[in-house]
Structure 1
Amino acid sequence: MDHNSTRLGFNATTSGAFQSTFSSTTSFFPNASTQATNPTCSGQSETFNWILIVFYSLFFIFGLVGNLFALWVFVFLQASRNSVRIFLINCAVADLVLLACLPFRIFYHVNKNQWVLGSVACKTIGNLFYMNMYISITLLGCISLDRFLRLKGKSRARRGLRVRLFGRSWPWGYAVCSGLWALSILGLIPMIATAEDKEFDGKCFQYKQRKDGAKGKAYFNAVLVVMFWLVFITMVVSYARVAAQLLKVSRDKPDLPNSQRYQRTAKKSFFVLFLFTICFAPYHAFRPVYIISQLNETISCDSMTLIDRANEVMLLFSAFNSCLDPVMYFLLSGSVRKTAFRALGLSLGVRLRSLNDATSNSSTMDYRRQSVPFVRKVNDSTPNSSGGNTQRTSLVAAPSGGHI
């Protein structure tokens, strides 16, 4: 009896110590036990869901209209076959594919974060969204590089780099875009085929922890973050050099016919870079925090929820780029500008025509000189007192809009 009593007392003491230790561990990692029993603790609130629904719906409507209009102009109205046009066409296609993924996200949030189409469809839609986002990022970087190479090149190099394929010379944009789509599709297949950490539980577009076999996806996302910052640095350097060169020419040679337009083109370059920074930089600045948290097995439920919501907000900015890209097309392409002005009826009236001219650069519009008065002789056979004719000189304005 004494021995049993001693053993029971020891077990009670050990059990109490274990409970005390477990309680202190739980308090050090708040809600850690909740995460273990409820893997979906990072679900969004109903209010936050409706915020996502409203913004994604607006992005889908305006982005669809703008990109379809731009694609129509590029394919059917623009006659040039340069690399920038090729990049813009592929960028519009990538934006349209990304926009096609938004109705699935909208339906998911309307259905209170319950996915009913299966795990394969979930992974396909999610990875298509990200794939086309990074295709757009890469194409914008290629456009900035192309503009820089044209500015620094001489003679034929200013028309753009060309490669020889199938016995014919093509703009380098064909090779770049073909390779980009091929690599993207090859990267998409394993992302869809690879299993997640746990069985499908009806959730999609949610925060997922990367454990065991799924850690490779986290590392792949880290590579994409590095790629983004390389593209971002390329754009900053390219557009800064382009703008500096144009401003230098405009300042050093103010008498050139297109001097003022060089200044406007330089400002457009900075505006394109500004749009790129606003849409993509916040998401990729926060992305390392998101990836590290996915690899952390002791993250609390509160931290998981906070990181998940912050990531969704940053992702809204990235999706917003699909609406702003048509604005970029408007700035970079004279065909889009002129077609948009005609469609909106802005070609009527002197004031609206001057607005059209003000937004055109030297590569798309002819330089038109302003009205300059000059003196010419006009025969005016007015008889004078001596019976002869007197020729009178009059001041006549030169016609405006004449070509040089």
Structure 2
Amino acid sequence: MTASTFLPPSSFPPSSSSSVNNSSSECKMDNTSLRLLLAVFYSLFFAVGLVCNLFALWVFLFMHPKRNSVRVFLINCAVADLVLLACLPFRVSYHARGDKWVLGSLMCRLVGNAFYVNMYVSIMLLGFISLDRFLKLRGKGRAKRGFGGTLCGRTRLRTWAVCGVLWGVSFLFFIFLVIKAKTKEGDSGKCFHYKKSKGIPYLNAVVVFLFWVVFAMLIISYAKIAARLLQVSRDRPDLPNAHKYVRTAKKSFFVLFLFTVCFGPYHAFRPVYIHSQLSDDLSCGYERLMDCTNELVLLLSAFNSCLDPVMYFLLSGSVRRTAVQALGHRLCSWACMDASAKLAHSSTTEFRRPSMAVSLPGTAPNTPSATPRTSICAMNATLRRAGATMLTPTGH
């Protein structure tokens, strides 16, 4: 799709300025050098993010028994990331086809706006989490519960209400963007590209301002949380968990670091991008530069969906322990099954093939189970029957 047509003022003669505008009006967004890069990275983000967020959601819903406001926010954040990740295969297909969109105008608007809306839902939820943790740490009385509030001792009513309002406003915003967008977008074979506009950029400017408000709130909240934890660790070293407070403070700054790396470049570049959409005297080369830069910084924003599960487990020690226990149980089950199969194969082999015997208390010298190839588990079983002392593996 070409950019919007710019007509020079009638007072200007048809000079070089007019030719610039004409070339700009016919400018085609061609990101040939970025197609492969975008397709590969969006594919990786989709695969890794899908596995990690599904595992996180499984832990939150079925494995983690603790009910608190942070857990509710993390569940909603994982859902928002999964919806965003569902948009990535469409982008992969678009770039793999040579930036050709074949699904029509409606799907172009749905996928494109769903990506952006869920990105900002994640940003708002991260802001709510930081504010909730700050209120719980520094608040007094009812404020110390943060966004908490229970119903029948189970549901965090206030937290779910905040998330419900956020999702409701986001859905209305999504519907507005789908209806407001140009109907021809996607029909000409182009989607997710730079385009001129007069109304949407002002709305984007409001969203960018909202991001910087949330970002400032994160900086203040996590800085005060870290300062408070460091002060308690220094003033009360006799507390049972005092030695863990320094590590918790560092984790808070790591969360802020991830937020800055993923979303900071995109929103720092956004004002320049919005200004170019509102300008009528830009060259085609400058518009292509805006398009390429926007794609690169947007790639960093999509990368956040892969890093969010890491942040989930950093934010909550109980969630982290539950996840480790769940993975450890699965891995142990697989390892034990594999060890049992190997032991059965080894026992069958040793029974058929004679070997030099090792005498154990209460066993015959040439018993097949008393061979050098027998595992520690088999030896311990023999020793239990013989009433002897159990063997322990070397180094444990």
Which TM-score band applies after superposition, normalised by the shorter structure?
A: 0.7 to 0.9
- In structure 2, what is the equivalent of residue 227 of structure 1? 210
- In structure 1, what is the equivalent of residue 24 of structure 2? 35
- Residues 207 and 95 of structure 1: is their aligned pair in 2 closer, same or farther, counting only changes over 3 Å? same
Q: Give 3-state SS (helix, strand or coil) of 1:22's partner.
A: coil
Tell me which amino acid in the other structure corresponds to 1:121: M
- Measured in 2, the distance between the counterparts of 1:84 and 1:248 equals 23
- In structure 2, what is the equivalent of residue 383 of structure 1? none
- Measured in 2, the distance between the counterparts of 1:167 and 1:217 equals 45
- Measured in 2, the distance between the counterparts of 1:348 and 1:196 equals 52
Measure how far apart 1:252 and its partner are. Answer: 1.4
- The answer to whether the Cα contact below 8 Å between 1:34 and 1:301 also exists between their aligned partners in 2 is yes
- The answer to whether the Cα contact below 8 Å between 1:82 and 1:159 also exists between their aligned partners in 2 is no
Tell me which amino acid in the other structure corresponds to 1:133: M
In the alignment, structure 1 residue 286 sits paired with structure 2 residue 278: no
Per-residue CA deviations over 1:47-97 (Å, capped at 9, x if unaligned) read: 310000111011001100110000000000111221100000000000000
- In structure 1, what is the equivalent of residue 250 of structure 2? 267
- Measured in 2, the distance between the counterparts of 1:125 and 1:333 equals 32
Per-residue CA deviations over 1:299-352 (Å, capped at 9, x if unaligned) read: 211000001100111001100000000100110123432243235549999xxx
Q: Give 3-state SS (helix, strand or coil) of 1:203's partner.
A: coil
Q: Give 3-state SS (helix, strand or coil) of 1:99's partner.
A: helix
- Measured in 2, the distance between the counterparts of 1:302 and 1:129 equals 27
- For structure 2, list consecutive stretches of 5 or more residues without a partner in the other structure: 1-9, 333-396
2:288 equivalent among 305, 328, 331? 305
- The answer to whether the Cα contact below 8 Å between 1:123 and 1:192 also exists between their aligned partners in 2 is yes
- The answer to whether the Cα contact below 8 Å between 1:162 and 1:169 also exists between their aligned partners in 2 is no
- In structure 2, what is the equivalent of residue 205 of structure 1? 192
- Residues 250 and 286 of structure 1: is their aligned pair in 2 closer, same or farther, counting only changes over 3 Å? same
- Residues 69 and 112 of structure 1: is their aligned pair in 2 closer, same or farther, counting only changes over 3 Å? same
- The answer to whether the Cα contact below 8 Å between 1:246 and 1:262 also exists between their aligned partners in 2 is yes
Give percent identity, aligned residues only: 60
- In structure 2, what is the equivalent of residue 340 of structure 1? 323
- Measured in 1, the distance between the counterparts of 2:217 and 2:142 equals 23
- In structure 1, what is the equivalent of residue 176 of structure 2? 190
**Taking structure 2 as the reference length, what is the TM-score of the superposition?**
0.76
1:120 equivalent among 63, 87, 106? 106
- Measured in 2, the distance between the counterparts of 1:112 and 1:207 equals 16
- The answer to whether the Cα contact below 8 Å between 2:77 and 2:122 also exists between their aligned partners in 1 is yes
In the alignment, structure 1 residue 141 sits paired with structure 2 residue 127: yes
Q: Which residues of 2 match residues 1-400 of structure 1 at below 5 A?
A: 22-26=14-18, 29=20, 32-36=21-25, 38-39=26-27, 41-45=28-32, 47-154=33-140, 157-163=143-149, 170-196=156-182, 200-210=187-197, 215-345=198-328
- The answer to whether the Cα contact below 8 Å between 1:341 and 1:347 also exists between their aligned partners in 2 is no
- Residues 24 and 160 of structure 1: is their aligned pair in 2 closer, same or farther, counting only changes over 3 Å? closer
Q: Give 3-state SS (helix, strand or coil) of 1:254's partner.
A: coil
- Measured in 2, the distance between the counterparts of 1:168 and 1:130 equals 33
Structure (1 or 2) with the greater strand fraction: 1
Query: Which stretch has the larger CA shift, 157-166 or 198-207?
Result: 157-166
Per-residue CA deviations over 1:249-271 (Å, capped at 9, x if unaligned) read: 11112222211111111111111
- The answer to whether the Cα contact below 8 Å between 1:66 and 1:326 also exists between their aligned partners in 2 is yes
- Measured in 1, the distance between the counterparts of 2:51 and 2:155 equals 34
